[in-house]
Structure 1
Amino acid sequence: MSPTKSLLKQSALASTIDISHVTDFLLELDALKRVNRRSYVTGATRLENSAEHSWHLAMACWSIAEQFEIDVNHEKLLKLVLVHDLGEIDAGDTFLYADTRADAHVEERAGIARLQRERGNGIKNLSEIWEEQETGSSQEAQLLRVVDRILPFLLNLNTNGKTWIEGNVTRSQVSSAHAFIKDSFPSIHDWLAEQIEFATAQGWLIDA
């Protein structure tokens, strides 16, 4: 049996890192599990949290990118997804149809800046990656935005429109929120349009 090899290179850097700072940062990331979203988990009565959503989003983006043979850098894509909701640790989740939705990025950006400054954070370009997913126009950022809209929509369809009903959401609100997908992913937009009509017929969306 071969001896266990060290994961760390023999360098002065390894001996200067305070592991307690590293673990403090890991616990900061753990706080995302305490941020509840408005979507309900399928087959249950509880809300999903933002950490669960981030995992689901990462898997969905990875799968769709390969299924449709989209020309993306998978490492970049997954990094964008993983930082996507980190700002919610400080800002909380903002409902897609809330009046304050347009301003959500302000508190989230401040939260990312705080995480960037944490002594135990080893991701040197955390803020840069977050900005790319928030404002960038790359293939990876575009795919992320499409899938990020699909998942809560899908959860609503499979929980009898529970979140839509609770929020008095209208058909036109949902159509407007997903309109951008028509240009970047027309086949998914066509499917969404059909499901919006179905949800409206079921009374899950207000027909307005």
Structure 2
Amino acid sequence: MTDPTLVQQLDFLDEIDKLKSVVRSSYIVDGSRFENSAEHSWHLALYALILTPYAGRDVDIARAIQMLLLHDIVEIDVGDHPIDLPTDWQEVARQEKQAAKRILGLLPEAQQVSLASIWQEFERSETATAQFAKALDYCQPIIQTLHNARDIPDHVEIVKENLTKGRATCLPARLPEAYHFAASKLGWEHEVIDADFLERLAFLVEVDKLKTVTRATKLCDGSRRETSGEHSWHIALYAWLLAEHAHRPVDVFRVLQMLLIHDLVEIDVGDTPIHGSFDAKAIALKEARAADRIFGLLPQEQGETLRALWDEFEAAESDDAIYAKAVDRVQPLSSNLATGGFSWVEYKVTPEQLETRVGVKVAKGAPALWALLRQRIDAWYDKNAALFATDEA
């Protein structure tokens, strides 16, 4: 019997795929395009993890990460609003409340209440956790602008206005290291910036490149292939919301950390389509070298901690890693079901190959989830058998 709770959760996760199509007004660091709200949300969650030592004792980092993964989903209905344009912010707030009610309303009731509480806490910005999360939300576009490869003087002027008169005036109190860095880059100050903060910032700027890594999977609307940055955001939401279906109890916060960082090695190595042809040992060696370089950008203790977490994910032996690996396989399945089996057709994937390459891992980490998806996958293959017929002429 199909679990209606699981169906609701998967419907919600399909719906929020639309956040990948919401374009913001900030450029990604290489200046090639504007970022979207999904990859922005992933990047912010990673900001919270990396800048944990600067959060303050009253900040709940796990909840801050959840806030930042969730905070922009209302933009699916309302869109992004650049801070430099005349805007009726009260009307935007009203529309966002309606959007939150609709989108979160797709979930089972208990999760509706829980996620609404987190989203509302972020919006009110009254707790230390929400204020830290808000500070990161204001800080990240500033850092991207001041580190941008593109010459964007108009965006620099917006940064100056934001720091002196806008939302970012909170940074000296809430995240002074970020303010002093920005002020130094703008020539307003000449203070020596904390070396530990600069190392963490260099890492966060470097990993912006994950937004340029293209995957085989398409967005659910079929409009383009997704990036590894937005994929990392999406599977973090998958892991959070589907944790009750894990094979064994897991530490959701540890799983979220794994999934925020699991694809960073693709910055150096690129994405390796699971249904493609590749030398697994050679790829593993390249990814290990990439992990050495990328995590080596961080202060030693944090770099070693995250590298160990990445290794744990790759080994897929702990309960947390087994579940994280399962979730990493699930999101592309949902995308393929939504896009007419796009990558299955492209790579001529048989049901038997899908079972071996994907199903085994999903069933191991989330058996009920695989049981439901297998029903949907079997129905799709039955309906589309002609696409895989062998030409014997």
Query: How big is the shift at 1:44?
Result: 4.0
Letter in 2 for 1:192: L
Residues 109 and 19 (structure 1), Cα distance of their counterparts in 2 relative to 1, 3 Å cut: same
Equivalent position of 2:362 in the other structure: 181
Contact in 1 for aligned 2:200/2:297 (Cα 8 Å): no
Contact in 1 for aligned 2:246/2:367 (Cα 8 Å): no
- 1:117 aligned residue (281, 296, 317): 296
C-alpha separation in 2, matches of 1:172 and 1:161? 15
Residues 127 and 164 (structure 1), Cα distance of their counterparts in 2 relative to 1, 3 Å cut: same
Residues 101 and 181 (structure 1), Cα distance of their counterparts in 2 relative to 1, 3 Å cut: farther
Residues 175 and 32 (structure 1), Cα distance of their counterparts in 2 relative to 1, 3 Å cut: same
Deviates more, 1:107-116 or 1:85-94: 107-116
Deviates more, 1:45-54 or 1:164-173: 164-173
Q: Secondary structure at the match of 2:231?
A: helix
Residues 160 and 81 (structure 1), Cα distance of their counterparts in 2 relative to 1, 3 Å cut: same
Choose between structure 1 and 2 for higher RCO, CA contacts under 8 A separated by at least 6 residues.
1
C-alpha separation in 1, matches of 2:383 and 2:319? 35
Contact in 1 for aligned 2:213/2:227 (Cα 8 Å): yes
Query: How big is the shift at 1:116?
Result: 2.0
Contact in 1 for aligned 2:322/2:364 (Cα 8 Å): no
**RMSD (CA atoms):** 2.9
Equivalent position of 1:206 in the other structure: 388
* Structure with greater proportional helix content: 2
Identity of aligned residues (%): 30
Unaligned runs of 5+ in 2: 1-169, 178-191
Query: How big is the shift at 1:164?
Result: 1.2
Deviates more, 1:187-196 or 1:18-27: 18-27
C-alpha separation in 1, matches of 2:239 and 2:218? 20
Equivalent position of 1:53 in the other structure: 231
Residues 28 and 70 (structure 1), Cα distance of their counterparts in 2 relative to 1, 3 Å cut: same
C-alpha separation in 2, matches of 1:25 and 1:48? 23
Equivalent position of 2:214 in the other structure: 36
Query: How big is the shift at 1:137?
Result: 1.8
Letter in 1 for 2:255: L
Deviations 1:84-137 (A, max 9, x none): 111111110001112216233221111111012226788332211110111042
Q: What is the TM-score of this pair, normalised by structure 2?
A: 0.46
Equivalent position of 1:143 in the other structure: 323
C-alpha separation in 1, matches of 2:332 and 2:347? 14
Contact in 2 for aligned 1:112/1:126 (Cα 8 Å): no
- Give the number of the structure whose alpha-carbon radius of gyration is greater: 2
Q: Secondary structure at the match of 1:37?
A: strand
Contact in 1 for aligned 2:326/2:364 (Cα 8 Å): no
Q: Secondary structure at the match of 2:216?
A: strand
Deviations 1:31-70 (A, max 9, x none): 0000000000012410000000100011110111157696
Query: How big is the shift at 1:16?
Result: 4.1
Aligned length: 202
Letter in 2 for 1:206: F
Is residue 169 from structure 1 mapped to residue 355 from structure 2 by the alignment? Answer: no
